[in-house]
Amino acid sequence: MGRYNRAVVLDQIQLADGISRVEIAQRTGLTPQSVSGIVRRLLDEGIVREDHANRVSSGGKPRTTLRINADAGSAVGLHFDPVELTCAVVDLLGRPLVVKRRPTPPGTDPSHVVSAMSELVAEVLAETDVPRSRVLGLGLATPGPIDQDLGMIVAPPQLANWTRVPLQRMLSDVTGLPVTLDNDATAAAVGERWSGAGRGVANFAYFFFGTGIGGGLILNHQVYRGGSLNAGEFGHSSVLPDGPECYCGNRGCLERLVNPSAIVAEVHRRLAGEHDGSVLSEPFERDPAWVDHASIRVAAGAGDPLAAEVIDRAAEHVASIAVSVANFVDVDLIVLGGHGIQHVETRYTDAVASALATRPLARHIRIIDVASSPLGADAAVVGSAALVLHATYSPQLSALLAD
């Protein structure tokens, strides 16, 4: 209970931009005495600092506000995408200090991937002046499905031959850091709650556009993980019951219809047939491979009719599933993020917003908000570092600072 209350208090301080002890007590229902005791320990440990310059006065005597001491520790985040590795060091406020990317080594040997990960972690740590003793741990965001108890990725669809890989242990062995593993969409949702569009929002759903379409749920301020820790697979909701078969066993899944290769295939099909002119036509004739997901998004973002039509159709499918999510869990906000919607964020948010205004059953009670992630392509990597802060904030940091 002590640790729980401590996390509740830290959470309030982290979410507010300056908050007094009295306000913490009012917002959490804890007694002023217990708030004051917890805050005293957090101050002693250096996790929290008092901001005397920004006292809030409410009639009586001025109250000192409390803030997170951002430099007291840091965490490393690593996003493992089958195409690209992204690594970041973040401070205690979830702000990235350094972000670096490199291509995921080709081939299917997990040990090559783990060595590349380890090199990248060493590079980002070398670029910051954070002493190793202040690094709380490493958060690893990977494509699902994962077995979190065993620290394994289980048969991820984009990685042939990766049946059960104990990535958590392998990475911990080579880096010497404690590793927290989660799926990329849940990590991104945690990052969004920490320092993005989901700050202070009690209930939101997150659609993550990476190599596939993942989902994360924050319900009553908590990450909702489900019984096997694989909740929020919005990408495998069926949009077209008679649609193409998906590798998951279902038909017409959202992910099957709007993943990057499906979008590229559809644009190529249209470019190969008769169409009314597109900035992509000429490059396609020269080299079809040039017309990839990124160039299609750039073209659609600039208003190219062919590319925009394909993206808008994908956005309509996303909107349908967003309506289902709204009906199922009645969230306050839907956030769209990840590198897969870069340059076309508003095409997706417009489609989802218009569906949420007209189709959920409870729309006459309130209209659910939509936002694109301010963390953009860094959502998963910031989120993976935030996983560490989330999980180990209290006990580990106290132990470190007590040394």
Q: Which residues bind Zn ion (CB under 5 A)?
A: 236, 246, 248, 250, 253
CB 300 within 8 A of CB 350: no
Closer CB to Zn ion, 82 or 137, in the complex: 82
Give how far the C-alpha of residue 345 lies from the chain's centroid of Cα atoms, to the nearest Å.
16
Shortest separation between residue 208's beta carbon and Zn ion, angstroms? 15
Shortest separation between residue 310's beta carbon and Zn ion, angstroms? 20
CB 78 within 8 A of CB 90: no
d(CA 67, CA 314) in angstroms, rounded, equals 42
Shortest separation between residue 219's beta carbon and Zn ion, angstroms? 23
Q: Which two tokens stand for residue 402?
A: 């007590």
Closer CB to Zn ion, 236 or 390, in the complex: 236
Shortest separation between residue 135's beta carbon and Zn ion, angstroms? 37
Closer CB to Zn ion, 215 or 301, in the complex: 215
Closer CB to Zn ion, 110 or 252, in the complex: 252
Closer CB to Zn ion, 157 or 178, in the complex: 157
Shortest separation between residue 266's beta carbon and Zn ion, angstroms? 18
Hey, which residues does 371 pair with through a beta bridge? 335
Shortest separation between residue 154's beta carbon and Zn ion, angstroms? 15
Shortest separation between residue 79's beta carbon and Zn ion, angstroms? 22
Closer CB to Zn ion, 116 or 248, in the complex: 248
Shortest separation between residue 246's beta carbon and Zn ion, angstroms? 3
Q: Is 343 exposed, middle or buried (0-12, 13-18, 19+ CB in 10 A)?
A: middle
Closer CB to Zn ion, 64 or 250, in the complex: 250
Closer CB to Zn ion, 38 or 253, in the complex: 253
